[in-house]
């Protein structure tokens, strides 16, 4: 559909000089062929990463619109990157603009057609799936009450099985009598051996067995299924599971850090010379920081303080402006004049690009804290910020750095990032980091 809409956009621009205020002619469609080689494989993948194809019946129009807009923005950035790095010409930006104008309603209309088709199919009895509910009487009743109309649209509940009081043979008879294709077990409060026997019966019959996993109540962790060796596991994760999105994030980290290292190499030279000529001591500051799950790693920065800064820290404890275990002083007397400029421009953070290349850090993630500050965490919930790789920039960084004076608020921003992580969120934080760095918001 997207390829067809791209062709229509070209036709409108090619023959549309009488309809639109276009002056120059554009090349024929074959000149735009390279765009299709990007569009065809990557557009569905990007839409999938944004959740466009997931649960169309349960989505609101606003959510669908936002998913399509985000996918479109990423796709346009990908096309721009291909054009820049591979020297591929885009003969007409108007074609891309017309394509975006057509693709947005096109994708929304396609989803509405899918919803219409699913609901129409749900009214046809022969196309509906025969489902059996199994569990205790109370569990089955609770499950029935929780099922929504959209969840029931393509299934017919044809039988129930009391897992506690009826034998497995009764379940097998129900499977045969009602041509059941799926059994949903609400068996959290049932005996495990009975549940195991019932699932084994479904296995023998070739019928899908779905086990409701909400008998373990969690507030943050999201249940998922995985395999450890040959053992099936229900996994409760508070961080994003390994996915294409995380693999893309890792690729962006490596490529982005490499490009930034090359682009900022003159700043490395300026910083090194400035540090050498303004204060005695090494150019780089090295410190053990807590990485993912608290694993220590050596973090690099340009030295912005006098060499004896760590020894003088104790005498400044009374001036700490940050609540909690973190130490922050606005006008820290240990910072050199040149170091103050390095901090104001964030140039002192550039060596951490080496940490990103080494895999210790990411471009976006909670800022890494020294080991001795992590050991002073007041509650275990604060350690959840260690469940992902630390980053060069984060929500706290773009919220004004030192303007956030409460460690509780800092942790809250980090946990908001972890709980709502997406590639789009990373992209927004990176965009907000640019004016923060250039204008020095919150840097002191």
For the chain, the average pLDDT equals 84
Q: Which of 83-92, 272-281, 293-302 is predicted least confidently?
A: 83-92
**pLDDT above 70 (res 21):** no
pLDDT for residue 125: 60
- The phi, psi pair for 336, rounded to 5°, reads -75, 160
> Which residue in 272, 428, 268, 293 sits closest to 363, CA to CA?
428
Looking from the CA of 30 toward its CB, the CA atoms found within 13 Å total 0
What are the tens digits of pLDDT across the range 34-48? 999 999 999 999 998
For 301-313, what is the mean pLDDT? 81
Answer for the pair 97, 10: CB distance below 8 angstroms, yes or no.
no
For 185-211, what is the mean pLDDT? 81
Whether pTM > 0.75 for this model: the answer is: no
Other C-beta atoms within 10 Å of 270: how many?
A: 13
**pLDDT above 50 (res 335):** yes
Answer for the pair 118, 153: CB distance below 8 angstroms, yes or no.
yes
Q: Tokens representing 409?
A: 């608020």
Calpha distance 307→155 (Å, rounded): 70
pLDDT for residue 187: 65
Q: Which of 184-188, 245-249, 354-358 is predicted least confidently?
A: 184-188
Answer for the pair 75, 39: CB distance below 8 angstroms, yes or no.
yes
Terminal CA-to-CA distance of the chain, rounded, Å?
A: 52
For 124-142, what is the mean pLDDT? 83
For 50-69, what is the mean pLDDT? 88
Answer for the pair 404, 395: CB distance below 8 angstroms, yes or no.
no
Calpha distance 56→310 (Å, rounded): 56
Calpha distance 226→235 (Å, rounded): 7
pLDDT for residue 106: 95
The CA–CA distances, whole Å, from 309 to 160, 258, 276, 301, 316 equal 71, 31, 17, 14, 10
Query: What domains can be seen in the chain, in order of their start residue?
Result: 2-122 (no CATH), 126-215 (3.40.50.10700), 244-439 (no CATH)
Helix (H) or strand (E) holding 299: strand 296-302
**pLDDT above 90 (res 170):** yes
pLDDT for residue 218: 65
Looking from the CA of 145 toward its CB, the CA atoms found within 13 Å total 6
For 398-419, what is the mean pLDDT? 77
Pairing type for strands 284-290 and 231-237 reads unpaired
Q: Tokens representing 261?
A: 């290292």
Calpha distance 35→184 (Å, rounded): 45
**pLDDT above 70 (res 242):** no
Pairing type for strands 391-393 and 129-135 reads unpaired
The CA–CA distances, whole Å, from 90 to 41, 140, 277 equal 19, 59, 48
Where would I find the beta strands (DSSP E) of 163-283? 182-186, 208-211, 222-228, 231-237
Sign, CA dihedral 127-200-158-122, equals negative
Output 237 or 361, whichever has higher pLDDT: 361
Calpha distance 136→160 (Å, rounded): 10
**pLDDT above 50 (res 24):** yes
Pairing type for strands 296-302 and 284-290 reads antiparallel
**pLDDT above 90 (res 121):** no
Answer for the pair 423, 363: CB distance below 8 angstroms, yes or no.
no
For 197-202, what is the mean pLDDT? 88
Q: What is the CA radius of gyration of the chain?
A: 29
pLDDT for residue 127: 62
For 200-216, what is the mean pLDDT? 82
pLDDT for residue 444: 46
What is the 8-class DSSP label of residue 370? Answer: B
pLDDT for residue 174: 93
What are the tens digits of pLDDT across the range 346-378? 888 999 999 999 999 999 999 998 888 888 887
CB proximity list for 12: less than 8 A, separation 6 or greater: 19, 20, 98
**pLDDT above 70 (res 29):** yes
Share of the chain above pLDDT 70, in %: 86
Share of the chain above pLDDT 90, in %: 28
pLDDT for residue 136: 87
Q: Tokens representing 243?
A: 């996915």
């Amino acid at each position: 559909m997207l390829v067809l809409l791209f062709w229509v956009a070209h036709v409108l621009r090619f023959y549309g000089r009488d309809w639109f205020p276009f002056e120059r002619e554009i090349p024929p469609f074959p000149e735009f062929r390279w765009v299709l080689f990007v569009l065809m494989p990557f557009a569905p993948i990007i839409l999938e990463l944004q959740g466009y194809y997931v649960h169309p019946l349960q989505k609101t129009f606003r959510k669908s619109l936002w998913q399509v807009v985000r996918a479109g923005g990423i796709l346009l950035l990908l096309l721009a990157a291909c054009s820049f790095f591979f020297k591929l010409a885009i003969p007409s930006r108007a074609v891309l603009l017309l394509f975006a104008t057509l693709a947005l309603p096109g994708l929304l209309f396609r989803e509405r057609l899918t919803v219409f088709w699913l609901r129409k199919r749900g009214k046809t009895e022969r196309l509906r799936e025969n489902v059996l509910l199994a569990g205790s009487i109370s569990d089955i009743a609770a499950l029935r009450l929780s099922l929504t109309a959209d969840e029931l649209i393509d299934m017919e509940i044809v039988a129930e099985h009391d897992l506690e009081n009826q034998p497995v043979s009764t379940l097998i008879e129900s499977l045969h009598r009602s041509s059941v294709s799926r059994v949903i077990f609400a068996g959290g409060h049932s005996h495990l051996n009975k549940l195991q026997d019932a699932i084994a019966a479904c296995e023998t019959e070739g019928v899908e067995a779905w086990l409701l996993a909400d008998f373990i109540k969690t507030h943050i962790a999201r249940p998922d299924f995985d395999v450890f060796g040959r053992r099936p596991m229900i996994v409760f994760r508070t961080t994003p599971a390994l996915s294409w999105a995380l693999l893309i994030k890792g690729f962006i980290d490596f490529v982005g850090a490499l490009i930034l290292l090359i682009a900022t190499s003159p700043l490395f030279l300026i910083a090194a010379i400035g540090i050498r000529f303004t204060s005695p001591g090494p150019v780089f500051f090295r410190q053990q920081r807590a990485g993912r799950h608290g694993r220590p790693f050596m973090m690099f920065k340009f030295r912005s303080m006098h060499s004896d800064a760590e020894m003088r820290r104790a005498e400044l404890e009374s001036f700490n402006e940050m609540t909690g275990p973190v130490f922050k002083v606005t006008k820290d007397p240990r910072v050199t004049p040149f170091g103050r400029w390095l901090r104001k421009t964030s140039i002192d953070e550039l060596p951490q690009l080496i940490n990103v290349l080494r895999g210790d850090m990411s471009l976006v993630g909670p800022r890494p804290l020294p080991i001795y500050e992590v050991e002073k965490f007041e509650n275990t919930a604060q350690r959840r910020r260690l469940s992902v790789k630390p980053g060069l920039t984060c929500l706290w960084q773009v919220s004004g750095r030192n303007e956030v004076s409460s460690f509780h608020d800092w942790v809250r921003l980090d946990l908001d990032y972890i709980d709502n992580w997406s590639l789009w969120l990373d992209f927004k934080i990176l965009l907000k980091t640019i004016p923060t760095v250039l204008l020095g918001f919150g840097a002191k």
